[in-house]
Amino acid sequence: MDLIYVLDIIGTFAFAISGALVASKKEFDLFGVIIIAFATAVGGGMMRDVLINAHPINWIGDLNYIWTIIAAVVFTFLFKSKIAPLSKTLFLFDTIGIGVFTLLGTQKGLSYDLHPFIAIVMGMVSSVMGGVIRDVLTNDVPLIFKKEIYASACLAGGTVYLATNYFNMPESVQFMATIFTVIIIRLLAVRFKLKLPKIKDDIFGKTS
**From CA 138, how far away is CA 104, in angstroms rounded?**
26
What is residue 36's predicted lDDT score, i.e. its pLDDT? 97
What is residue 168's predicted lDDT score, i.e. its pLDDT? 94
What is residue 94's predicted lDDT score, i.e. its pLDDT? 81
Q: Which residues pair with 206 in a beta bridge?
A: 201
- Taking all residues of the chain, what is their mean pLDDT, rounded to a whole number? 88
Question: Looking only at Cα atoms, what is the longest distance across the chain?
Answer: 57
Say whether pLDDT at 159 is over 90: yes
pLDDT tens by residue, 83-107: 766 557 678 778 888 999 999 999 9
pLDDT tens by residue, 7-58: 889 889 988 998 998 999 899 999 999 999 999 999 999 999 999 999 999 8
**From CA 107, how far away is CA 45, in angstroms rounded?**
12
